[in-house]
Amino acid sequence: MDLRAALTAHRLVAIVRGADPEAALRTVLTLADAGIELIEVSLTGKDALSVIERARRDLGPDRPLGAGTVLTADDARAAHRAGADFAVTPALGDGAEAARELGMPVLAGVMTPTEILTARTLGAAALKIFPAAQAGGPAYLRALRGPFPHEPFVPVGGIDDLAARAYLAAGATAVGVGSPLVGDAADGGSLTDLRARARAFRAAVQEVTR
Cβ–Cβ under 8 Å, residues 185 and 23: yes
pLDDT tens per residue, range 10-60: 999 999 999 999 999 999 999 999 999 999 999 999 999 999 999 999 999
* Number of domains making up the chain: 1
* Cα separation values, 16 from 27, 166, 182, Å: 7, 23, 7
Calpha distance 184→105 (Å, rounded): 29
Calpha distance 60→154 (Å, rounded): 26
pLDDT tens per residue, range 142-179: 999 999 999 999 999 989 999 999 999 999 999 999 99
pLDDT tens per residue, range 87-128: 999 999 999 999 999 999 999 999 999 999 999 999 999 999
Global pTM value: 0.96
Calpha distance 112→83 (Å, rounded): 31
pLDDT band at 134, cuts 50/70/90? confident
Domain range spanning residue 195? 3-207
Calpha distance 45→124 (Å, rounded): 24
Residues 6+ apart with CB under 8 A from 55: 25, 28, 29, 39, 41, 65, 83
**Mean predicted confidence (pLDDT) in 61-75:** 97
CATH number for the domain harbouring residue 113: 3.20.20.70
Does the pLDDT value for residue 210 go beyond 70?
no
Which residues are annotated as catalytic?
40, 128
pLDDT band at 204, cuts 50/70/90? very high
Q: How far is CA 87 from the centre of its chain?
A: 9
pLDDT, residue 27, reads 98
